[in-house]
Amino acid sequence: MKAVNALFIVLSIAILTIAFQLTSPLLSRQGTAVAETMTNQGPQVVKMSEFLTYKQYKMLAFAYEIAKQDGIQHPSYLQGILMQESRACNVKHYRVAGLTNKVGDRYFGAVQLKLAAAKDVLKRYPELLQYLDTNTDEEIQAKLILDDEFNIRVGSKYLLMLGINEKPDLAITAYNQGVSGAKGINPKTFHYTKAVNKYFKELNS
């Protein structure tokens, strides 16, 4: 009897989990807010004007949580970059981009990081090395490509390095153009910065 009860409980949990995964995208039409996950501060709610899949909600909630833990004052900036770069892991070829660029100048994963940027982050924030075994270029690149959560963790720290808390628009522009490339650009009119800010506003509406 106990075995039957235990089996019933396991099956019930499995059915509820599957039902949530199937229905949460349907509930997200027309920007309906859906609580995706529980954080230390309570349920994290993501609200967007476009249709989102369950995976997108999951990645957006994770990005919010990591950005908040890292001390980013407005975590939705990281969410905005995640949407702009890969539609929160929902673009077909998001794992490796810039294929026409030379090998060392390509972009990887959820928030489209270059290997050089990731290595700079790892030097500045060595606590991220706990997610690596060898800390070789090959492993870092593989983790950026295949591990969405690691990619987002590195992207969050990169935004801190770029000064997202001090000058958000400039940091977002530098994220796309590099620090030197951003110097000659007006962040208020730059298309990439405007797109990220659009997502930021939607996520905070």
What are 100-111's pLDDT values in tens digits? Answer: 999 889 999 999
Both tokens assigned to 76: 């939705």
Given pLDDT bands bounded at 50, 70 and 90, which one contains residue 51?
confident
Q: What's this model's pTM, rounded to 2 decimal places?
A: 0.79
Answer whether residue 46 shows pLDDT above 70.
no
Burial class (CB in 10 A: 0-12, 13-18, 19+), 136: exposed
What are 142-186's pLDDT values in tens digits? Answer: 999 999 999 999 999 999 999 999 999 999 999 999 999 999 999
Q: Using alpha carbons, select from 157, 123, 119, 158 the residue that is nearest to residue 139.
A: 119
Q: How many domains does the chain have?
A: 1
Express as a percent the part of the chain with pLDDT over 90. 71
Helix, strand, coil: what percent of the chain each, to 5? 60, 10, 30
CATH number at residue 16: 1.10.530
Mean pLDDT taken over the chain: 84
- State how far the Cα of 20 lies from the Cα of 37, in Å rounded to an integer: 12
Greater confidence (147 vs 25) lies with: 147
Both tokens assigned to 26: 């349907």
Give me the mean pLDDT over the 9-25 stretch: 48
HSE-up (13 A, CA, CB side) for residue 173: 18
Answer whether residue 78 shows pLDDT above 80.
yes
- State how far the Cα of 98 lies from the Cα of 75, in Å rounded to an integer: 27
88: left (phi over 0), alpha (psi -120 to 50) or beta: left
pLDDT score for 204: 87
pLDDT score for 184: 92
Answer whether residue 198 shows pLDDT above 50.
yes
Range of the domain at 89: 2-203
Q: Using alpha carbons, select from 98, 95, 120, 121 the residue that is nearest to residue 110.
A: 95
Express as a percent the part of the chain with pLDDT over 70. 76
